Amino acid sequence: MRKASMFLVLALGLTACNPDGMAFGAQTQVVPGLATAGLIDLTQEYGKETGTYLGYRSEITQPTLKFSVAPGSLGVTVTSYTVEVLDSAGSRFGGNDASYSRNGLSFRVPGGYACPTGDTDQCAGADKTAVARQVAFPDSVALIKQGVVEQLNQNYYVADECENLSMRISFRGFDDLNRSWSSPAFTNADIGTECNRELVEEQP
């Protein structure tokens, strides 16, 4: 029984450290979430004199995402993600832009540790303190594509419906021990929609 206990302690020690002696948690607990919601502001234009549909203009406010990192979690490096835009019934919305993937990323989400100097999780194991983190995903990423706006405009034109939309987003990469990592699917990333009509002067 004592030998078995010694082997268990040794195994746990190996799990908690890498070859350089850096301390790590045994699990990867990095969960994506919504920092600020996206918004599509759509305005259809009609001629004042004839009532003819002339087109539309739109403004897209891209959502911003964050990762919640549990205390003691390993860090991860995000290499790709997949986005699906869904309507209120859960069906894909936006034609060719309803589902897409982006690869070739190298965005590191720090682990759930703090070090004495700097905003980093990279220091000797004895100096690490387990903490929770909120890490912003780069806001330069355009998650809402133009095809989604075009279908929203079509639905509003044909059926007078300003569809409620959301996104399902999942991330992939590897953790600090070079193990494959996939995030839980983030399914409640709401996209606000505002649809209006406006009468404008028609060009001769």
In a domain, 80, yes or no: yes
How far apart CA 175 and CA 149 sit, in angstroms, is 36
Segment among 4-8, 23-27, 84-88 with least mean pLDDT: 4-8
pLDDT at 26: 58
pLDDT at 119: 77
In a domain, 174, yes or no: yes
In a domain, 2, yes or no: no
Give the number of other CB atoms < 10 A from CB of residue 74.
25
Q: What is the mean pLDDT of residues 51-68?
A: 96
Span 36-53, pLDDT tens digits: 999 999 999 999 999 999
In a domain, 3, yes or no: no
In a domain, 96, yes or no: yes
In a domain, 10, yes or no: no
Span 119-167, pLDDT tens digits: 788 888 888 999 999 999 986 678 999 999 999 999 999 999 999 999 9
In a domain, 77, yes or no: yes
In a domain, 59, yes or no: yes
Q: In total, how many domains does the chain have?
A: 1
Which domain covers residue 30, as residue numbers?
A: 25-200
Distance set, CA 51 to CA 6, 41, 107, 154, 158 (Å): 83, 21, 50, 17, 15
Segment among 12-16, 49-53, 105-109 with least mean pLDDT: 12-16
Span 174-195, pLDDT tens digits: 999 999 999 988 887 899 999 9
Q: What is the mean pLDDT of residues 62-79?
A: 95
